[in-house]
Amino acid sequence: MSSHLPLTHFSEDEESFRTAIRTFAESEIRPRVSKMDGEKKLDPTLIRQLFEMGLMGIETPENWGGTGGSFTLACLAVEELGRVDGSVSVLVDVQNTLVTNALLKWGTPAQKETYLPKLASEWVGAYALSESSSGSDAFALKLRAEDKGNHYLLNGNKLWITSANEAELFIVFANVDFSKGYKGITGFLVKRGTPGFTIGKKEDKLGIRASSTCELLFENCEIPKDSVLGQVGVGYKIAIETLNEGRIGIGAQMLGIAQGAYEASLNYIKSREQFGQSLSQFQGVQFQLAEMRTQLEASRLMVYNAARKKDSKMNFIKEAAMAKLFASRTAEKIASMAVDLFGGNGFTVEYPVEKFFRDSKIGQIYEGTSNMQLQTIAKMELS
């Protein structure tokens, strides 16, 4: 049982909200980071604490057991967790910016009543769009959903699904009519343990190792008609709109990773001595630090701007793409500079920066590669 107050106590005050999460991350997550990374698994006790804190249902209204906060608060949480561990950060990010967000916007009253309380209190959620042949080309998916009258039969597989090992509920996208192309894509709510649905191979990854990334297998998996999310054939719209929001969350995760790497570097150069003085006294090192700090601040402003535009119901698609693009590049750059500043120590697992470096790379790949973000930005500028 966590000794920390639930986030409902702080949801009206951003700074208190941030402080509460940072205190939790330092006391409960940081001592577990190395072990979870080495074992490639999140600590189940920590996952329960995330629920107790209210971190798994930040935007969920309080009457469904959530924190009742904003999208911006969800991004602040993802950032603060990423500052300590990217794996925990992405678990909370997917839960809030993808799964819960999709249900809040597209779920029926019955679906919301059934699933939102569970997602806020005990169930991890996963978002299953990608397949081996449909990464950036997301709508080339081949998972088939056959209409059998009173149910659908799902056949095929999904790949690279975040949080799959821990998840109890999956938002799964399949095509009910390939003759209609992307307009046949439909979202389904699939519970763990449904006959014909199994969790497949767990990927062994470069970074965010404690976060599970797995294949999903469907073999004559029977899904009730009332498990359709939104309407039949609008799955492509759900996927696009949800991922646009999710990109801001990934930007926030990368911002947190960059912040963590920067802080580790700052502390190290102040304490490490070479040639009779601390590293911080060398002008070359100072200039590197200034570059890191400037890039970090620029990323923060971009991520916060996109999140606030989303909360204000303004068009945020271009800003989301720019925030993810810039923050993910910044995270890799700052983490790489951190390894350089640590020297030989930075190349060992005894110091934290090699993990920040490994964790940063995924930001340019998932929820839309950097090239896809560039394409989105350019299209919107030219439209």
251 neighbors 320 (Cβ within 8 angstroms): yes
> Cα 370 to the chain's mean position, in Å?
16
What 3-state DSSP class applies to 204?
coil
- Provide the pLDDT for residue 180: 96
Looking at per-residue pLDDT, the higher value among 127 and 12 belongs to: 127
Average confidence (pLDDT) over 128-135: 91
CA distances from 329 to 1, 10, 298, 333, 357 (A): 37, 32, 12, 6, 11
Residue range(s) of every CATH 2.40.110.10 domain in the chain = 127-233
**Which pLDDT belongs to residue 212?**
98
DSSP three-state, residue 128: strand
pLDDT of residue 223: 97
| pLDDT tens per residue, range 297-351 | 999 999 999 999 999 999 999 999 999 999 999 999 999 999 999 999 999 999 9
For all residues of the chain together, what is the average pLDDT? 96
Please list the active-site residues.
367
Average pLDDT for residues 61-78, to the nearest whole number?
96
Distance separating alpha carbons of residues 161 and 164, to the nearest angstrom = 6
Q: How confident is the model at residue 375 (pLDDT cuts 50, 70, 90)?
A: very high
Architecture of domain 127-233: Beta Barrel (2.40)
Separation of alpha carbons 357 and 360, rounded Å: 5
**CATH class held by domain 7-122:** mainly alpha
Tell if the pTM clears 0.85, that is, is over it: yes
> Strand runs (DSSP E) across 32-91, as ranges?
none
Percent of the chain that is helix, strand, coil (3-state, to 5): 60, 15, 25
pLDDT in tens, 28-62: 999 999 999 999 999 999 999 999 999 999 999 99
CA 81 from chain centre, in angstroms, equals 11
Rounded-to-10 torsion of CA 165, 167, 171, 172: 30
236-382 fold:
Butyryl-CoA Dehydrogenase, subunit A; domain 3 (1.20.140)
Rounded Cα distance between 140 and 187, Å, is 15
pLDDT in tens, 166-213: 999 999 999 999 999 999 999 999 999 999 999 999 999 999 999 999
For 223-237, what is the mean pLDDT? 97
CB atoms closer than 10 angstroms to residue 113: 12
- With 80 as the cut, is the pLDDT of residue 138 above it? no
Residue with tokens 């959530």: 66
When pLDDT is cut at 50, 70 and 90, the band that residue 221 belongs to is very high
* pLDDT given at position 4: 74
Residues of each domain in the chain carrying CATH 1.20.140.10: 236-382
pLDDT at 11 over 80: no
What pLDDT is stored for residue 107 in this prediction? 98
Compute the average pLDDT of residues 232-236. 97
Model confidence band, residue 3 (pLDDT cutoffs 50, 70, 90): low
Q: Is 74 exposed, middle or buried (0-12, 13-18, 19+ CB in 10 A)?
A: buried
Domain limits, CATH 1.10.540.10, in the chain: 7-122
Contact 17, 10 (CB under 8 A): yes
